[in-house]
Amino acid sequence: MGTRRNDIWIAGRGATLLHFDGNTWIKQTPPAGDPFVDFLGVSGEPTAGGQVYVSATRGKLYRLSTPAGTLVLESSGTTLPLNAVFAVSRKDVFHVGDFGTIVQSEGNGWRALTLPGPVPRDGGWGASAVDMYAVGRSGTVVHYGGEHVVAADGGMPDMTPPGDMAKPFGIGFPCGADKDCPAGKTPVCFTQDFGNVAGAAKVPGGYCSSACNTDVDCEPDGICLDVTGVGAFCVHTCGKATDCRVPDYACLKQGGCYPAAAVFTDCDPTSGDGSCIVTGPGSPGGCLRQILGSGQTGRCEPECQVGIGTCPDIGNFKQHCQVVDTTGTPGDRWKGPICVGTVQSPVPDGQPCLDPLSGSYSDEVCADGLQCDLKGDKKCHMLCMPAPMAGAVPDGGVAAGPCGLGQCTDYFGLFQTPRPAGLCL
């Protein structure tokens, strides 16, 4: 992108952003905390010295005030990839992305525009703030005239692609053989079972995927998730239930489409204070959302005592106790300690809690008895109790007590609740 020969920008994988000042290409400093984000598009205001805007994977968008400035992450309101960006002025910046996503700048924020259909948008251009075009797959062209987005038909050339080019493709799309799946580093069609592993989740209509290590391997339609225990695979990106092939597929809370029949739900995460009764044992628990949508979209997980070894393993499935706060999701209610799954290579005390799959910091990667300080140094720290627990831990193990080093802080705001727990800082 460039508006003059001494002001040219290029964006690419690995948060790469290059600026040419007429003599030298200069690489911009990547955004802190996003080591695995990929930049997909870049555009700048047409006036000299104007701001630069970058679209990226996972719905991330950035603003840069000057070539020597710092990339600032802004909230787009979506987790879907934003594939391109076009700036007309500071108040009229358009990012376009998957499933017909278009977000427009309003000067101090972003708003979504409603599009006629879920076709991915892969590019955009505009002559003014009331004359914008977005293009997508299967020859799709839409036009924004200032108030509404409409399909561009009358007066437009026939852009319908011939033959098989018009067929849908990409991560998560239907398939009958590997040749139907061009996306990913190692494209594969799951014809009957997810991962093509006998006994795994059934995949109605087939499911295009690929083995992966990070989200980069799944661009532009997917993210990398290990949801089967047989390895990490690309799943289709989703931001709401209808982004998936309903009713056969559900949108997991992690943002990927997965066979709905394989996702167990037994509670409503928006009901009461989030408390529930665990199916089977009948013990008290907390309702944790599993899929996006309304109604019975959560699973009741058992409450636990923070400490080490306080959650029993279920067969080969290892668990540990962590504080889970679901109230960041609008309507969800649970906040307290819950037994959660342990990752294969948990992060020890004092080390960064970076999830290698998503490239973001997460509680889920910390070892038993630890939790991530997501509001501070983004490292794993010991969980603690404001006072020693009286009596034995119901499921065994050693209950957390006051901190040996540091102070037991009311990090989660639970000291005055029936489920007191803190973090050693």
Q: What is the pLDDT of residues 355-404, one digit of tens each?
A: 877 677 888 899 999 999 999 999 999 999 887 755 445 555 677 777 87
Three-state DSSP at 287 gives strand
Q: What is the pLDDT of residue 333?
A: 94
Return d(Cα 259, Cα 254) in angstroms, integer.
14
Cβ contact 266:279 at 8 Å: yes
Q: What is the pLDDT of residue 423?
A: 94
- Global pTM reads 0.60
Cβ contact 85:95 at 8 Å: yes
Return d(Cα 109, Cα 295) in angstroms, integer.
31
Q: Tens digits of per-residue pLDDT, 402-415?
A: 787 789 999 999 99
Using alpha carbons, list the distances in angstroms from residue 339 to 74, 305, 312: 33, 9, 8
The candidate with the shortest Cα–Cα distance to 102, out of 138, 76, 131, is 76
Strand partners, 8: 2, 20
CATH 3.40.50.1370 fits 2-151, yes or no: no
* Gyration radius (Cα) of the chain, Å: 24
| Residues 6+ away with beta carbon under 8 Å from 157 | none
Q: What is the pLDDT of residue 34?
A: 61
Return d(Cα 261, Cα 249) in angstroms, integer.
8
Q: What is the pLDDT of residue 155?
A: 41
Token representation of residue 424: 């050693």
Return d(Cα 20, Cα 2) in angstroms, integer.
9
Helix, strand, coil share of the chain (percent; to 5): 10, 40, 55
Around Cβ 193, how many Cβ atoms within 10 Å?
17
Return d(Cα 210, Cα 228) in angstroms, integer.
14
∠ CA 218-360-274 to the nearest 5 degrees? Answer: 105
Using CB atoms within 10 A of its CB, is residue 348 exposed (0-12), middle (13-18) or buried (19+)? exposed
Let me know how many helices (H) and strands (E) the chain has, helices first. Answer: 0, 33
In this prediction, the residues of the chain whose per-residue pLDDT falls under 70 are: 1-4, 32-36, 46-49, 66-68, 90-91, 98-100, 106-108, 113-122, 125-131, 136-140, 142-169, 228-229, 358, 389-397
The CATH 2.130.10.10 domain(s) of the chain lie at 2-151
Q: What string of DSSP letters covers 375-420?
A: TTT-BEEEEE-SSPPSS--TT-SEE--S-SSS-EE-TTS-TTSSS-
Cβ contact 334:288 at 8 Å: yes
Which residue bears the tokens 């290698």? Answer: 356
Q: Tens digits of per-residue pLDDT, 287-296?
A: 999 999 999 9
Q: What is the pLDDT of residue 126?
A: 66
